[in-house]
Amino acid sequence: MSFLLDTDICSAQMKADRRVHSRFIQYGGQLHISVVTLGELFAWVGRAKASPRRSQTLFDLLKAAE
Amino acid sequence: MATLHGVIHGKTIELEREPGLPEGQRIAVEVRPLDEPPAWLERFVVDPTVRLGKFVIKGTRLLVDDLVHLVDEGRSDEDLRQTHPELSAADVDAVRNYARVPEGMRRSFGGWAEDAEELDEYLDWTRQQRKQRRQEIQE
Q: What is the mean pLDDT of residues B98-118?
A: 94
Which chain A residues are Cβ-neighbours of B108 within 8 angstroms? Answer: 13-14, 57-58, 60-61, 64
Q: Do A13 and B109 touch (CB under 8 A)?
A: yes
User: What digits encode the pLDDT tens for the residues B80-107?
Assistant: 999 999 999 999 999 999 999 999 999 9
Q: Is the pLDDT of residue B136 over 90?
A: yes
In the prediction, which pLDDT does B31 show?
83
User: What digits encode the pLDDT tens for the residues A3-21?
Assistant: 999 999 999 999 999 999 9
In the prediction, which pLDDT does B139 show?
85
Domain regions of chain B by residue span = 36-108
Concatenated DSSP letters of B58-109: TTS--BHHHHHHHHHTT--HHHHHHH-TT--HHHHHHHHHHHTS-HHHHHHT
In the prediction, which pLDDT does B30 show?
84
Q: Is the pLDDT of residue A49 over 70?
A: yes
Q: What is the mean pLDDT of residues A46-66?
A: 88
**Chain B contacts in chain A segment 2-61 (CB below 8 A):** 7-8, 11, 13-16, 18-19, 21-26, 28, 40, 43-44, 47, 53-54, 56-61
Out of A8, A40, A60, name the one closest to residue B111 (CB): A60
Give percent of chain A with pLDDT exceeding 70. 100
Q: Do B111 and A44 touch (CB under 8 A)?
A: no
Burial environment of residue B47 by CB neighbours within 10 A (0 to 12, 13 to 18, 19 or more): middle
User: How far is it, in rounded angstroms, from Cα B66 to Cα A44?
Assistant: 29
In the prediction, which pLDDT does B72 show?
95
CATH architecture observed for domain B36-108 = Orthogonal Bundle (1.10)
Domain regions of chain A by residue span = 3-64
Q: Is the pLDDT of residue B41 over 70?
A: yes
Phi, psi (deg, nearest 5) at residue B80: -60, -40
Question: Pairing relation of β-strands A31-33 and A3-5?
Answer: parallel
